[in-house]
């Protein structure tokens, strides 16, 4: 935790990028360069849409503080297809795509750092190692998407929510925000319903089921989990796809 605090003191806008994954693979020069790529910061409020589907983008955004959902809309309903925590590049995809096929929505107050695509192009042309780390970040999103697709097919609503809680907890821990018994999140019950593809009624019942069985208690933005091993076993959660310190880790952590 002290190492992360030092990183955030030195790099307040980008100090959580790839923390828990490949942050250790970045040189001090690369960390300084990444910090300098952020041309401006901005704060958005709960419910604001950073990018709407089809909008042309000329910058990509690093999430400094807060929580963001990727969403799709169909037949007057919103579906949350992934989420982002501090340290994530939420729309690095649009450097290549220019127009996204989905929306980027804020949940709670969000602080963002914007990196112009001209600056990313310079990195791609002249900083191959940093460019590879950007690529890794984007491919990590794809790995998480694949896991979500599989779990939506495999699991009942209570187990889907348990899996979401297990993933959020792990990812927040990676960037120094999780707690020993759970985490805090601006997500509402309606957001959780959008994330697991269930109705509000089914989501309410699923959350009650998790609470009744002592697996997870979600109330007013706080998720408390008495036994991580039980929760993860119930959800069939294996964190390897997060590319932290599990079986798919690229190297040993100091």
- The residues facing 67 across adjacent strands are 107
pTM, rounded to two decimals: 0.94
pLDDT at residue 253, as a whole number: 41
* Structural contact between residues 107 and 186, judged by C-beta atoms closer than 8 angstroms: yes
Residue 132 sits in the same domain as residue 157: no
End-to-end, the C-alpha distance of the chain in Å comes to 13
Give me the count of residues in the chain: 254
Residue 67 sits in the same domain as residue 183: no
Please report, for the domain that includes residue 169, its CATH number. Answer: 1.10.10.10
pLDDT at residue 133, as a whole number: 96
Cβ atoms < 10 Å from Cβ of 30: 15
Residue 90 sits in the same domain as residue 17: yes
For 195, counting Cβ atoms within 10 Å of its Cβ (0-12 exposed, 13-18 middle, 19+ buried), the class is buried
pLDDT at residue 218, as a whole number: 97
Domain hosting 111: range is 2-140
pLDDT at residue 254, as a whole number: 38
CB contact set of 95 (below 8 Å; sequence gap of 6+)? 60, 117, 120, 121
Residue 233 sits in the same domain as residue 185: yes
Cβ atoms < 10 Å from Cβ of 179: 14
Cβ atoms < 10 Å from Cβ of 248: 13
pLDDT at residue 11, as a whole number: 97
| Concatenated DSSP letters of 97-109 | HSB-SSEEEEEEE
Reported for 215-220, long-range contacts at CB under 8 A and 24+ positions apart, including other chains, are 215/162, 216/161, 216/162, 216/165, 216/182, 218/165, 218/189, 218/192
Residues 175-190: pLDDT tens digits? 999 999 999 999 999 9
Please report, for the domain that includes residue 112, its CATH number. Answer: 2.60.120.10
| Residue that finishes a domain, picked among 121, 140, 159 | 140
Residue 131 sits in the same domain as residue 160: no
Q: How many domains does the chain have?
A: 2
- Per run of 10 residues, the mean pLDDT along the chain (length 254 residues) is 86 96 93 98 97 96 97 92 96 94 97 98 97 95 93 92 97 95 96 93 96 96 96 97 83 46
**Whose CA is closest to 103, among 86, 127, 84?**
84
């Amino acid at each position: 935790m002290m190492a992360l605090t030092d990183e955030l003191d030195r790099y307040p806008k980008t100090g959580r990028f790839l923390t828990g994954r490949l942050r250790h693979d970045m040189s001090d020069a690369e960390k300084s360069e990444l910090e300098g790529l952020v041309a401006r910061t901005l704060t958005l409020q709960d419910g604001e849409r950073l990018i709407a589907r089809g909008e042309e983008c000329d910058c990509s955004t690093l999430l400094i503080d807060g929580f963001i959902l990727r969403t799709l809309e169909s037949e007057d309903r919103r579906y949350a297809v992934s989420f982002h925590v501090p340290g994530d590049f939420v729309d690095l995809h649009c450097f290549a795509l220019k127009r996204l096929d989905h929306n980027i929505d804020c949940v709670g107050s969000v602080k963002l750092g914007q990196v112009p695509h001209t600056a990313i192009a310079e990195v791609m042309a002249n900083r191959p190692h940093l460019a590879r780390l950007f690529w890794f970040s984007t491919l990590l999103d794809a790995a998480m998407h694949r896991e979500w697709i599989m779990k939506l097919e495999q699991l009942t609503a209570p187990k889907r929510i348990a899996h979401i809680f297990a993933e959020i907890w792990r990812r927040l821990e990676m960037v120094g925000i999780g707690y020993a018994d759970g985490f805090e999140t601006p997500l509402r019950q309606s957001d959780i319903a959008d994330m697991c593809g269930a109705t509000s009624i089914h989501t309410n019942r699923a959350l009650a089921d998790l609470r009744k069985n002592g697996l997870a208690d979600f109330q007013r933005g706080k998720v408390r989990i008495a036994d991580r091993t039980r929760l993860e076993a119930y959800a069939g959660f294996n964190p390897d796809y997060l590319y932290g310190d599990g079986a798919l880790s690229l190297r040993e952590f100091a």
